[in-house]
Amino acid sequence: MIRVAAVGDVHFGTDTPGLLRPHLEAAAGDMDLLLLAGDLTRRGQPAEARLLAEELRGLSVPVVAVLGNHDYHHGAEREVAAVLEAAGPGAGGSGLRRAHRAAALLAGRGDAGR
């Protein structure tokens, strides 16, 4: 059994660093994968994505993210996605991947979005 924790509508902004991490660390032992389901940033600005990537860096579980409409507001969705993907592997082999196809994610494929 794979335990997936799903969080949506994070709306991460310049005033939210430090708010999400304690909850994720507290739940880390109860999940095998973290799904960030859309609206990762407040306004779709790359600076917001960088702050979120820093908040997620080093988690002990893999992270899969799907962009939401807020992540497109600034017209920089490709940069937002690139910033999150560049967060790279952390402790325990975690890394951030962007999912393009729900079927790939649900199947547990390691190459989702590639």
Domain presence at residue 29: yes
DSSP-derived letter for residue 43 is S
Beta-ladder partners of 36? 7, 65
- Asked whether residue 93 carries a pLDDT value surpassing 70, the answer given is no
User: For strand 96-98 and strand 4-8, is the pairing parallel, antiparallel, or unpaired?
Assistant: unpaired
Mean pLDDT for 94-100 is 53
pLDDT number for residue 106:
34
Q: Confirm whether 112 is domain-assigned.
A: no
Q: Flag whether 113 is in a domain.
A: no
Is residue 61 in a domain?
yes
Q: Which structural domain range is residue 66 located in?
A: 4-106
Q: How many domains does the chain have?
A: 1
**Cα dist from 32 to 19, 60, 84, 88, whole Å:** 21, 9, 19, 17
Q: Is the pLDDT of residue 85 over 90?
A: no
**CATH at residue 51:** 3.90.190
pLDDT digits (tens, 9 = 90+) for 8-65: 999 999 999 999 999 999 998 999 988 888 899 999 999 999 999 999 888 888 888 8
Q: Which two tokens stand for residue 43?
A: 């306004």
Query: Does 111 reside within a domain?
Result: no
Q: Which residue has the higher pLDDT, 104 or 25?
A: 25
For residue 2, how many C-alpha atoms fall within 13 Å in the half-sphere facing its CB?
A: 12
Q: What is the pLDDT of residue 101?
A: 44
- The yes-or-no verdict on residue 100 having pLDDT over 70 is no
Distance of alpha carbon 19 from alpha carbon 98, whole angstroms: 22
